[in-house]
Structure 1
Amino acid sequence: MSGTATAEPAVEPALRLDGLNKSFGPVHVLHDIDLSVRAGEVTALVGDNGAGKSTLVKCIAGIHAAESGTVRFRGEPVHIRGPADAADLGIEVVYQDLALADNLDIVENMFLGRERGSPWLLDEAAMEQAARSTLASLSVRTVKSVRTPVSSLSGGQRQTVAIAKSVLWDSSVVLLDEPTAALGVAQTRQVLDLVRRLADTGLGVVLISHNMADVFEVADRIAVLYLGRVAAEVPARDVTHGQVVELITAGRSGELGLARPDTAAL
């Protein structure tokens, strides 16, 4: 028997960025960003404040236009000129402020701006059924009724609704901005379980987080941004908590990370 392992065929990432650059006036914020988001995996995007995480997410979401670089979606080059382009591709973003309307119920929030029916008569039954089905597909059991006003939900339940809303539209890639920020222990547990289930259903998930415990619990891969550059993108199992912290704070940990200034020109 041969001792040579057969390499598995490469699977094209759901979303791939090559050489992405973004500046605001004279300030170069993102430098040649390479990033892959694979279907069925959670990619944690980590970095210190000012590392460029928010700008990168907004470039992917179509809020900011990159000056150069290539974006590939399911292997095909695409041009994301605005949020509508990203949504049409199947890229959804759940921002930290959730963008939920407290005066509306869960169904109304999930379909806000994308209501079903005619301008004169909404199809409430179809929307309610779709909301229930989406929550059920994600094994959400913390919401008793889809007609519950958002104002009466806990922080964890609100986050759950916002995430469920993002997958309602046949999305392929979901970006989550600090989904466990300001949540208690039990609510954090619920949201992390949901994040993992998103990937298990075949979505490519990007988790932006400062919480290393959360990152190592659910992430398959970790991408570290340092001063607008990707210091490393590695399987979570191949790095330690300490190495990730060093990459975040210094851009390098041992032989991993950005080249040292004295060797960059070699």
Structure 2
Amino acid sequence: MTGISASAAGGSSAARGASGPGGSGPPGMTGGKAAKGASGHQVAKADADTSGAQEGVRPARGAKLTAAAVNQASVWNVANLLTMLRLVLVPGFVALMLANGGYDPAWRSLAWAAFAVAMITDLFDGHLARTYDLVTDFGKIADPIADKAIMGAALICLSALGDLPWWVTVVILGRELGITLLRFLVIRYGVIPASRGGKLKTLTQGVAVGMYVLALTGWLATLRFWVMAAAIVLTVVTGLDYVRQAIVLRRRGIAERRAAPEEAQG
């Protein structure tokens, strides 16, 4: 009996010792708290991991926003600024060209200066964009528009003032607009590169139109006539060459598309 009592007493003491400090509380409470503490620690750790994962995602979103901001800011590069300057010069050129009836040599000289600046920026903006990787979607659209705008404004003003026959203006502008439309039509098959003849045409047109903008007389007036004649010839010849390139490019693209499924089946 004494052994049994001692054993029971020892068991009761052990149970009280396991129940917690001071021996109070039901048996197994400490184990429950430990399990609850472990469970809480795991939940806290999971929350921390989830928070960390979310924090890991946030920089990615921030990075995307930053990248978008950089792409948007890249529009304001030196090449595009020159293109914008050329667009701004168009209405200024027209105002100077038509000032005081359109036949004042002083105003015509100022108009020539505006036209010359526009032509010079046309030579530099494309070169800068390609050399320093400043090509943007805005530049691709705005650059040809600026080119056609300043040249078209000059030709229309000259024809309206009677200094240049209207058929010259129609031939040059018709060719420029037609080739631009043609490039868009065949762009699915490839890009028609600018040829040396096309660059020479642009230079000759700029020189000829610039000479007509100035109030020239004597042998200079005769010289500008022949320069304009050369510009018209280059305009027509290079235009026909671009048409030929477009036809070849389209046929080649169609042939490649037809050959692709046959190679896949074979």
**What TM-score do you get using the length of structure 2 for normalisation?**
0.26
Structure ranking higher in strand proportion: 1
**Between Structure 1 and Structure 2, whose CA radius of gyration is higher?**
2
TM-score between the two structures when normalised by the length of structure 1: 0.26
Higher relative contact order (CA 8 A, sep 6+): 1
